[in-house]
Amino acid sequence: MIASLMPTYNRADLAFERGEGVWLYGADQRRYLDFGAGIATSSLGHGHPHLVAAISEQAARVMHVSNLYRIPQAERLAQRLVDASFADSVFFCNSGAEANEGMVKLMRRAMHATGQPERTRMICFSGAFHGRTLAMLSATGNEKYLQGFGAPVDGFDHVPINNLNALRDAITPQTAGIIIEPIQGEGGVRSADARFLRDLRTACDEFGLLLGFDEVQCGMGRTGRLFAHEWAGVRPDVVSSAKGIGGGFPLGAILATEAVARHLTAGSHGTTFGGSPLACAAGNAVLDVVLAPGFLDQVVHTGSVLREALEALVAAHPEAFCGVRGLGLMQGLQCVLPNSALQAACMQEGLLVVAAGENVLRLVPPLVVTPEECLDAVRRLAAAAARVRQSEPALSA
Ligand code: PLP
């Protein structure tokens, strides 16, 4: 008989009763070091007093009013994002897939409004993940996720990342823009080269295309800058955000330059829940912390401690791990042993991590994690590797 909760996930048999900082406390009476952070989402950790207070106070005052009225919390959050980024204007929604859908609509609409209605296609990249709506499945392009859902939505062309010739060859008179994750998350923490991102900007300028970055996972401070593309010094036209922007409260955003955003006029796009007083109170509380002086520098520092410890782990255990990649507090541990077995063993060692493509384990802790907690996590990873080797000697043969 089917479970009443639709079985779309292979869930671990573990539930949590509460969380504090980087720690989650299980119904099994054990505590877990959370280096998954709700898949790169609980950016301030669990039970952060400032975020909890902001949500509680706003919930008691007014949660939801619809977008038929002014929402001061949303106006403030938009202005702060504009002040801190390339963007001139922001649209709030509820999730990463919805932000990406809106990004595609915005790019198509801008082409239409500037007399190029035939330009509707987006160039995307192999290994990408943009979400689970029908159009974002097509943008993702992964056969496994598309299977059984009928013909893929048309309008998305795929090329390998970091291959400028392939990218330029894929541009046609129907191309509207390019959408790329500066660092692929689900794909296995694979970075686009800074040079490649700059070359994308050049190609967009040359062919009159729009450049969109999906920063749903790598943005909002995760790499030590508010947005990951800042490291490459590239100016996008549009950026999508979600996950960490609400610190665990559902919130997404599309950030855009005025030249593009002005084409989404009243009535052309909408959402019931997006940008509610409650969601934006959460977003403002997250920004209070992430934009506080020194916070992002601390992410860079803690990220480098984690990176060094992971490199030492790889050197000490070549039979289990073969490399590390990523930036800041978005690190991917490339595994020799199966990542799913390691993920399960980590849980037994009291460490939560997330598997990703190319046999990678993702380490995406809350941004408030300390260097000591990073070293603790790496010790647990070593113990997990030993556990897998013991239980499955054939795997390491
Ligand atoms: N884009 C990226 C880069 C993601 O990592 C994800 C989720 O993992 C999404 C989009 C989809 O976000 P959501 O699950 O909030 O729809």
- Residue 393: predicted pLDDT: 62
Q: Does the beta carbon of 181 lie inside 6 Å of ligand 1?
A: yes
List the chain residues with pLDDT less than 70: 393-397
Smallest Cα–Cα separation from 351: which of 23, 112, 41? 23
Q: How do 190-191 and 183-184 pair as beta strands?
A: antiparallel
Mutation test residue for ligand 1: of 134, 243, 330, the one with most atoms within 8 Å of CB = 243
Question: Which burial class, exposed, middle or buried, applies to 338 when counting CB atoms under 10 A from its CB (0-12, 13-18, 19+)?
Answer: middle
Q: Whose CA is nearest to atom 12 of ligand 1?
A: 96
> N- to C-terminal Cα distance for the chain?
40
How far is ligand 1, taken at its centre, from the CA of residue 217, in Å? Answer: 7
Is the Cβ–Cβ distance between 286 and 72 less than 8 Å? no
Residue appearing with tokens 């916070």:
295
Sign of the dihedral defined by the CA atoms of residues 272, 276, 279, 280, in that order: positive
Is the Cβ–Cβ distance between 301 and 371 less than 8 Å? yes
- Residue 23: predicted pLDDT: 98
Quick check: helix, strand or coil at residue 14?
coil
Residues 67, 330: Cα–Cα separation, whole Å: 34
Q: How many CB atoms lie within 10 A of CB 390?
A: 10
Is the Cβ–Cβ distance between 326 and 356 less than 8 Å? no
Mutation test residue for ligand 1: of 42, 137, 217, 220, the one with most atoms within 8 Å of CB = 217
- Residue 392: predicted pLDDT: 73
16-27 confidence digits (pLDDT tens): 999 999 999 999
Query: At what angle are helices 371-391 and 339-348 packed, to 10 degrees?
Result: 110
Quick check: helix, strand or coil at residue 105?
helix
Torsions phi, psi for 61 (to 5 deg): -80, -65
pTM for the model:
0.98
How far is ligand 1, taken at its centre, from the CA of residue 242, in Å? Answer: 7
Q: Does the beta carbon of 101 lie inside 6 Å of ligand 1?
A: no
Q: Does the beta carbon of 40 lie inside 6 Å of ligand 1?
A: no
Residues 125, 180: Cα–Cα separation, whole Å: 7
Quick check: helix, strand or coil at residue 236?
coil
